[in-house]
Chains A and B, each alone.
Chain A
Amino acid sequence: MLKAKVILVAIGVALAVPQVQAGSTPEEDRKETVEYFKQMFPDVAIEEFVNGQYALDEDRRKQWASMQDFPPYEFAVAEGKVMFETPFANGKTYASCFANNGIGIRQNYPYFDTVKNEVITLELAINRCREANGEPPLGWKKGPIASISAYMASTSQGKPFDIKVPDDAEAQVAYQDGKEFYYSRRGQLNFSCASCHVQNPGKWIRADLLSPTLGQPANFPVHRSKWGELGTLHRRFAGCNNNVRAEPLPAQSEEYRNLEYFLTYMSNGLPVVGPATRP
């Protein structure tokens, strides 16, 4: 209870003066976050948080379970596999761009590239791979890139996230930027990501059940009933920004990549479950 209070006070301060967030290490942040949600949901096993709202609500979980016989993303994953394995015009494949030929590596994304000094997400790596091989980049939010990313996630299911923030000033800055984004209020409605997903997970906002921070990125790319198709994490970020009447940023902008970096680090140790479904 005390810890939860400390975090809430920290949030209050952070909202007023975001720069005071600097100081604690990413690992301290993660442990505090895990502890906070354990106290908020003492009956939920920690690895269940990757299932978002389905970990928190029995009715929603039943609806979800009934969808698992014929998951709506199956076709996209099969399509993604074909695209992943089809050689580019130069004869090479995606496998040539990734460690372990791109199989079972989702849990290592995003990572910080200390040479380029930027966060590399899986989707960014996919498009850079294409460009390095003379192919045009794919659209960022849905369609082929989501299918390829979904296939790559499917080969990594169950592997624990292992995001690293190296001992590098630029990497620390990227992480802190992402954290600051998560806790900063924005838009006409004046919500931060944390307003809903730290302060109010498990509660209803109209007919939507709010998910907790912990585990949030683990199920992406995700098939939302609302979309009727797969979408990437950055598509969801933009949707959330729209919901609070803030100007959404471009997918794969530095801000969203840093946000993904922070958010995924919080889920370290939790299993990859993407692709998955959400309402």
Chain B
Amino acid sequence: MRQGLIFVCLTTLALSATGPVFAEPTQADIDRGKELAFSRTDGNCLACHQMDDGKLTGNIGPELVGMKSRFPDREILFKRIWDETQFNPVTVMPPFGRHMILSEQEINRIMDYLYTL
């Protein structure tokens, strides 16, 4: 019983250490995120979304504003960028993670930036 409890504690400790640790993003993270979001060969978010000071933006998707209130759960936003077709099968948003357009790390940087909008 006691050993079991210790095991549970250790497991919890291990999980919390390897789980999705989220540290406050640095300004460098945010800047990198904006760069990835605006770049045509990476996120190219402006193709469809109005956001921030982006020029000549598309209007297929919704404007990216108030992201904190719209996506209070960071994990959900990550999943939607990873593969929006899981949430809306007829979406035209590319499955950025599933199709390896962006890496997990790159999506995280973009989210650091998006949460400043």
Contacts and interface: CB of A to CB of B under 8 A. Distances in A.
Given A8-B90, A191-B92, A203-B58, 5 more contacts: A189-B94, A199-B92, A203-B59, A204-B60, A205-B47
Contacts of A203: 58-60
A4 interface: no
A11 B91 CA distance: 11
Interface in A190-235: 190-191, 195-196, 199-200, 203-207
B46 interface: yes
Contacts of A206: 46-47, 56-58
A53 to B, nearest CB: 14
A11 B95 CA distance: 18
Contacts of B99: 188-190
A16 interface: yes
A196 B60 CA distance: 9
The main secondary structure of chain B at its interface with chain A is: loop
Nearest to B99: A188
A139 interface: no
Nearest to A207: B56
Contact count band on A: 10 to 19
Contact of A205 (B60, B89, B94, B100): B60
A12 interface: yes
Contacts, number: 43
B85 to A, nearest CB: 7
A195 B95 CA distance: 14
26 contacts: A8-B90, A11-B90, A12-B89, A15-B90, A16-B89, A188-B94, A188-B100, A188-B101, A189-B94, A189-B99, A189-B101, A190-B85, A190-B95, A191-B92, A191-B94, A199-B90, A199-B92, A203-B58, A203-B59, A205-B47, A205-B48, A206-B46, A206-B47, A206-B56, A206-B57, A206-B58
Contacts of B95: 190
Nearest to A204: B58
Interface of B: 46-48, 56-60, 85, 89-90, 92, 94-95, 99-101
Contacts of B48: 205
Interface in A32-57: none
A200 B46 contact: no
B86 to A, nearest CB: 12
Contacts of B46: 206
A244 B85 CA distance: 16
Contact of A200 (B56, B92, B94): B92
Contacts of B58: 203-206
Contacts of A191: 92, 94
Contacts of B85: 190
A14 to B, nearest CB: 10
